[in-house]
Every structure is written in C-alpha cells, then in structure tokens.
Amino acid sequence: MGARERDAEGRPLNARPRDGLGRPLRRDEDGVERVPDGLTLPPAESLAEAQRLLDEGMPFHAHEVLEGTWKAAPEPERDLWQGLAQLAVGLTHALRGNLGGAATLLERGRERIEPYAAAPPHGIDVPGLLAWADLTVAYLADPDHPPAAPRLRR
C-alpha cells in the first residue's frame, strides 16, 4: 500500500479524481477539474465561480469555493458564507439521492443566511435563496422533480 498524499503541514489529502458531484473515482479514472485546496477568493469572484459551477451541475465544487470564502470571511459575514456553502452541499446530497441529508443541510443553510435577508452584502439574493431552499426541500419529497441550481446574486 502506497503512502497517502499529504500537504505541507502533514495533513492527509485525497488526490483521487472526482466526478461532477464530488464523488471519488478510482485513481485510473478521469474526473472533473478539482477546486484547488485552500482556494480563497474575494466575495465577487467566489460568487461568480460558485454560480458557474452550480450552473454546470457541480454543486460540490461550488461548495468548496464558498467554503474557502467562508473560512476567510470577516466575522460578521461568516454565517452567510457558511450558509451558502451548506446550500450548495445540500444540493449535492439531493442530486446524489441522499434526500434526508439534503433536507437537513438545506434547512441549516437557510437558517444561517436568513438574518442577512434585510441587507444582503455583495448583491447576494438572500430572499431568493430562502425561497429556493424552501421550494427545494418541498421538492425532495417528489423524486420526479430534481432540484434546480440556485441563483446566488440578483
């Protein structure tokens, strides 16, 4: 058995290729381009890249982009960015067929972003995302209606 890949601090990495929903593939398979580890983008770039990934059906990768911004965000915005990341990973779970996990993550993400609805920063469409989360959770009860990607900005 070979040694596991590690980052500069010695933390284990998972360098296996992944599919569009972030599921690991065999090492000899071709996967989609991965979000670089530790990627941290400014808010406008993060939103644009996450939206591109959502529109391309890769919500797991959008989650990774949003997670990097969440971890670097100033304290007053951390819950917003964490909530956005949870919405993206909730959509990931829905598209993978884990409907219970999807509903839980969508509800958690919704709770985190709701306080920002009155004055959303960075042009984020918090009211639209709240409505999307509610509609998506309702659709999870009907597998004939796959969830659509959310719109992050107005």
Domain ranges across the chain: 43-139
In this structure, are residues 24 and 11 in contact, taking their beta carbons and an 8 Å threshold?
A: no
CATH code of the domain occupying 43-139: 1.10.3450.10
pLDDT at 90 over 90: yes
In this structure, are residues 59 and 147 in contact, taking their beta carbons and an 8 Å threshold?
A: no
Q: pLDDT value at position 14?
A: 64
* End-to-end CA, the chain: 50
Q: How confident is the model at residue 32 (pLDDT cuts 50, 70, 90)?
A: confident
List Cα–Cα distances, 75 to 105, 106, 111, 131, in angstroms.
21, 22, 17, 25
pLDDT at 1 over 70: no
Q: What are phi and psi of 83, to 5 degrees?
A: -65, -40
122 vs 38 pLDDT, higher one: 122
**pLDDT-wise least confident of 9-13, 22-26, 47-51:** 9-13
List Cα–Cα distances, 70 to 98, 140, 148, in angstroms.
24, 27, 23
What pTM was computed for the model?
Answer: 0.85
| pLDDT tens figures, 111-149 | 999 999 999 999 999 999 999 999 999 988 876 777 778
* H helix runs in the chain, sequence order: 43-55, 59-72, 78-96, 99-113, 126-139
